[in-house]
Structure 1
């Protein structure tokens, strides 16, 4: 089965380890096991002794119950049995699309977004209609255009909320309108919600799984909870057909997730409020720094993100995004992601949720570079 190369992953694979200033990272500053235990007020020695006694079996085939209960607590209408655990959100997205999309199906997907959300259904020979978001519309969908794109053949509408790479956020009103569009043709809505909860304002960030009985939410422990090393994600949906189909297909590529990983994730979600408080402070403090920097840089502009950990920086000089990013990483140790990884140009993606000191150092280095333009 042929599939388009995953541009952003290929870029990170080649260049991330060269970074002196990693402003390409998309997770909130990662936490260690020791920091996790401190946040959870767990006795480290006792917990490690307990973990060392565990036999390393497959563990819970359908997911550690504590972990699944923690996932369900992130939603209003989801029960633990309506959750499937996966190998990261990347595994969750793949499992949904692998299970639900056939060659004769039609899919409507937003762009820019995480590439697998449109490249995987394209690889299955489905018809993918792309809805391109624009900075002029604050990287939010044009609902009139979405209505024109759907048809009686549309099996699924695919969105990404909050958006990667733009940092835009669809509110409940817009999500309900997308639900109405999907309902009009009987389509599912798959929402990659990997950054859900990391809002700049104190506002609710509803899940599609709570708003629509054919809504499918995908997320992970990586971005919002700073635990990418656990490689855990999930599918949450109230739709029994999706649970059944994804469960059948899951047997072919997962069996179970790591038992120690799920144990640690269960601890994290049992203390999710503490981690979210930490991480919202990081993204909000760091965005203030980024915003002040953008305002003073004459060559740079952006649509200020509403949520998540990333955004697109537009520049006003004549150079491809890939050439610019190669120059920055190879000659200055500064990592960004080229806009062309998301099929956009004249922009680069920055991850601003790293350690504050690293963000400041990276922006200062970029300022030195821009001064030479």
Structure 2
């Protein structure tokens, strides 16, 4: 029997997210409504429905429609659309890549804390996983010297989260180039979950697949593009890896569904409008959050760089999970306790909820914190 640890974040959210009045736990930028989605074309969805009306509700394009692949490929500098494979969100993309590449006895290095898939799926497959730990004292930024100490001649894969979930830390091109050089020295692959795009300076973001032939980029419409409800993600790789992934993909996913594929294609065609909407929300909410932190003596944070997740530390005299349960019960505010990321005393705070939700959530969080004064 395969052994795998409970998925901390998902277990918490599955239990509590629908009971929250003020959900500031999520790492999605406030999700688009269907009305907002349809009106991206300025004609009440005429473009979307024209796309959809031509489609039969069969399986559709198994790997994603040519139109979808073309739009995704535009997000990278040097990726052939044929090497884009549609998945069930970035979760499905990560699973596909790890399932295809990692076998028992392989050596894997994973950033930690980060998205739990990136270390616990390799463990479940029998890999020898070393954790590349990041620390608050270092602004949650990985130390390249530690990677040099962890790398081995038999290292198969290095897993990163850029931006990091839960901290929001962005890795620079220069840093990624150093990682690539180390990976090249032993022929290791580098998998980077890239679902969070920094919206203050998106042009500065560099995908691993544009830096390294053995780089694997995973992404989705769920975070930056505010459409988690359609569950569409993808892998972007070289041709050799895409062919390998195709074989394993047939065992994990048939297709994304005609409706979801069309919605994803439509969002990507209008990504400039979506990103403009989300940039305004993220930067506005970040200012609100920054002001709250400055005046809340029981909270501190390494401020994220305009991505939708953050990892503040709370000064409370109880364990963080009990605190979060009490906060939800008494104030209706939902956070993710840091022990879901094996980092007690912290919480994941998704400040990219609708502005009114964020303001009310932070006000109530302060009220609850100050019971300990």
Asked if the contact 2:299/2:312 (under 8 Å) is kept, the reply is yes
Q: Which residue of 2 aligns with 1:74?
A: 75
Asked if the contact 1:286/1:356 (under 8 Å) is kept, the reply is yes
Taking the aligned partners of 2:368 and 2:19, their CA distance within structure 1 comes to 18
Asked if the contact 2:41/2:47 (under 8 Å) is kept, the reply is no
Give 1:132 shift: 1.0
Asked if the contact 1:163/1:308 (under 8 Å) is kept, the reply is no
Give 1:47 shift: 4.4
Q: Which residue of 2 aligns with 1:147?
A: 148
Taking the aligned partners of 2:311 and 2:188, their CA distance within structure 1 comes to 30
Q: Which residue of 2 aligns with 1:312?
A: 311
Asked if the contact 1:188/1:216 (under 8 Å) is kept, the reply is yes
Taking the aligned partners of 1:252 and 1:168, their CA distance within structure 2 comes to 34
Q: Aligned pair in 2 of structure 1 residues 125, 307: CA closer, same or farther (>3 Å)?
A: farther
The two structures have a TM-score, normalised by structure 2, of: 0.96
Q: Tell me the alpha carbon deviations over residues 105-163 of structure 1, each in whole angstroms, 9 at most, x when there is no partner.
A: 00000111111110100000100000110111111110000110010110000000011
Q: Which residue of 1 aligns with 2:215?
A: 215
Q: Tell me the alpha carbon deviations over residues 149-205 of structure 1, each in whole angstroms, 9 at most, x when there is no partner.
A: 010110000000011100110111001001011011110000000112x33346410
Determine helix, strand or coil for the equivalent of 1:290.
helix
Q: Which residue of 2 aligns with 1:95?
A: 96
Q: Tell me the alpha carbon deviations over residues 89-115 of structure 1, each in whole angstroms, 9 at most, x when there is no partner.
A: 000000000000010200000111111
Task: Give the length in aligned residue pairs.
Answer: 371
Aligned ranges 1:177-326 → 2 under 5 Å: 177-196=178-197, 198-201=198-201, 203-238=203-238, 240-326=239-325
Give 1:241 shift: 3.0
Taking the aligned partners of 2:306 and 2:189, their CA distance within structure 1 comes to 24
Aligned ranges 1:11-26 → 2 under 5 Å: 11-26=12-27
Taking the aligned partners of 1:280 and 1:163, their CA distance within structure 2 comes to 19
Taking the aligned partners of 2:39 and 2:192, their CA distance within structure 1 comes to 33
Q: CA RMSD in A?
A: 1.4
Q: Which residue of 2 aligns with 1:105?
A: 106
Moved over 6 A (4+): none
Give 1:307 shift: 3.8
Give 1:283 shift: 1.1
Asked if the contact 1:75/1:207 (under 8 Å) is kept, the reply is yes
Q: Which residue of 1 aligns with 2:371?
A: 372
Taking the aligned partners of 2:199 and 2:108, their CA distance within structure 1 comes to 28
The two structures have a TM-score, normalised by structure 1, of: 0.96
Give 1:38 shift: 1.5
Q: Which residue of 2 aligns with 1:86?
A: 87
